[in-house]
Amino acid sequence: MSGIFEYNGGSIVGMKGKNCIAMACDRRFGQQMSTITTNYQKVFKIQDNILLALSGLNSDIHTFYALMEKEINLYNLKENRKMKPTTFANLVASALYERRFGPFFVTPIVAGLENGKPILATYDSIGCKSDLDDFQVGGTGGNYIYGACEAFFKPDLSPEELEEVIGQSLVSGCDRDSLSGWGGVVYVLTEQKLTVKILKTKQT
Amino acid sequence: MQYLDNYLQSKGGYDYTNVKRNELMKAQGFKEMPFTKTGTTIVGVIFDGGVVMAADTRATAGSIVADKNCEKLHPLAPNIWAAGAGTAADLHHQCAHFNAKLKLQRLNLNRQSRVNEVITKLTTKLFPYRGHIGVALIIGGIDSNGPQLASVSPHGNYVYHPFQSMGSGSLAALGILEAKFQDGLTKQQAIDLAIEAIEAGIFHDMGSGSNVDVVAITKEGVDYRRNIRQYNAKSHQKQIPYQFPANNTPALRKFEFNFEKQELSEVGQEMEIVE
């Protein structure tokens, strides 16, 4: 019996580039030491210009994503306009803090583009928003990906370079974590295009 | 079940629906992930004509540094600031909540907010939660009663004193303050003393680190200096910057989705009214 956050495993990472943002996640869904599937989705498109990555307990990933999807759909219907990424980032923080004493076991990363400007925010499980750094990590392999990011990352990368950097950081980090891996998916978002790339990684 | 949803929605406050499930999981032996704490060294010093508050900028999650440059000085009113130690999420959301509450009160009463109002509101909120809302704050400001400085503990205890320090580095900072504080300091002397006290916390306490933020509040206004001192800037550049050629990482599949450029506006379009 390890931690609640280690039950399913998984890693996510987000990075800012020059007028673009990138998110990457692994594809493993496990139950402690067993692997159940290798195509679990952990990065969700909330709106054309907002991506939400979730890591932690998979049932809470699913529930929290459904909750955020509901919130943004209601917002679009009530306000008749698209939600800004900074607004969504604050919404995630409030939704997590609302459950301060019975938290969701997720550590989200929100990434988006607001009129060309990249927005990136990460949270602990009760809604402490941290949006100052140029890259954020989450999940069981997060600490290993931190090391790779610190080495590979440069500010103001183009979308093609950012795709490489985030892919390599994810793969290097997941190699060191037994609970993450079995494939990787990289999402690169620019003002008019979302590129999704499925990476081949070590099959262990 | 919809009526229940609406009822819960309108109540506001905290949502306890997950508590039972989480307690069951803990009973089965699962351990939670540590919340982001601020470790921290924060200090406040009263000087002749105002108040100075200073804080370090490190946020930790267990023993990992979660944020190398977080902000621990929060404005509660134009003349009152709070420095916070404890659970970072609680600090951020409680300070934002009080900021809004005080602003609403100022709009209703057309009066400047006072430090003792903040202390009363805070302590009456924290006490019923028996310390579970993990905020340890230093509140400083200048109002009609002059410059004031108080510290509030998570259980709802408060103390007024001309100099305060809180957080894991408070003992290191208190040493400096006890030795060097005097009545009748000037603004610059108070700022220097506060920075020295935070320095002691940064270098002697593992939970505090990175840079120093300072805010000085006087009748004339607020002087907020973010990162007034930076001790730990990166001192070397990578010798061989990594340069990946394009399409270096092999991909199994690749998809592209094109969409229109997002127009983000403050106000939605007018809806048509159908008679």
What confidence tens digit (pLDDT) does each residue in B152-174 have? 999 999 999 999 999 999 999 99
Q: Do the chains contact at B32 and A105, CB–CB below 8 Å?
A: yes
Å between A118 CA and nearest CA of chain B: 13
Assign residue A44 the CATH number of its domain: 3.60.20.10
Rounded average pLDDT over B29-54: 87
Q: Which of A14-18, A172-176, B3-7, B220-224 has the lowest mean pLDDT?
A: B3-7
What confidence tier does A84 reach under pLDDT thresholds 50, 70, 90? very high
% of chain B at pLDDT higher than 70: 91
Position A40: which residue type? Y
Domain holding A152, by residue range, is 4-199
Residue A166 near residue A186 (C-beta atoms within 8 A): yes
List, in sequence order, every residue forming a beta bridge with A114; answer none if it has no partner.
A117
In a domain, A109, yes or no: yes
Name the closest residue on chain B to residue A4, using Cα atoms. B30
The pLDDT of residue B189 is: 95
In a domain, A55, yes or no: yes
Name the residue among A64, A7, A61, A65 with its Cα closest to residue A36. Answer: A7
In a domain, A166, yes or no: yes
What is the ipTM score, two decimals? 0.82
Rounded average pLDDT over A181-194: 92
Given a cut of 80, whether residue A2 has pLDDT beyond it is no
Given a cut of 90, whether residue B67 has pLDDT beyond it is no
Catalytic residue among B36, B38, B40, B60: B40
- Catalytic, B40? Answer yes
Rounded average pLDDT over A47-75: 94
> Within 13 Å and on the Cβ side, how many CA atoms surround A15?
32
Nearest to A48 among B16, B253, B262 (CB): B262
The pLDDT of residue B132 is: 92
In a domain, A142, yes or no: yes
Rounded average pLDDT over B48-73: 88
The pLDDT of residue A96 is: 95
The pLDDT of residue B237 is: 67
In a domain, A204, yes or no: no
The pLDDT of residue A150 is: 87
Given a cut of 70, whether residue B4 has pLDDT beyond it is no
CA distance linking residue B245 with residue B248, whole number of Å: 6
In a domain, A82, yes or no: yes
The pLDDT of residue A92 is: 96
Rounded average pLDDT over A173-193: 91
State how many domains chain A has: 1
List, in sequence order, every residue forming a beta bridge with B211; answer none if it has no partner.
B230
Given a cut of 90, whether residue B70 has pLDDT beyond it is no
Name the residue among B227, B216, B232, B194 with its Cα closest to residue B41. Answer: B194
Distances (CA, A) of B47 to B84, B97, B140, B188: 21, 29, 12, 9
CA distance linking residue A196 with residue A201, whole number of Å: 16
Residues in chain A: 204
Å between A34 CA and nearest CA of chain B: 17
In a domain, A86, yes or no: yes
The pLDDT of residue B64 is: 80
Which residue in A43, A49, A130 has the most chain B C-beta atoms within 10 A of its own C-beta, making it the best mutation to test that interface?
A130
Residue B138 near residue B106 (C-beta atoms within 8 A): no
Nearest to A4 among B25, B238, B258 (CB): B25
Given a cut of 60, whether residue A1 has pLDDT beyond it is no
Given a cut of 90, whether residue B220 has pLDDT beyond it is yes
Given a cut of 70, whether residue B5 has pLDDT beyond it is no
The model's pLDDT over A110-160, given as tens digits with 9 standing for 90+, comes to 999 999 899 999 999 999 998 877 899 999 999 899 989 988 998 899 999
In a domain, A90, yes or no: yes
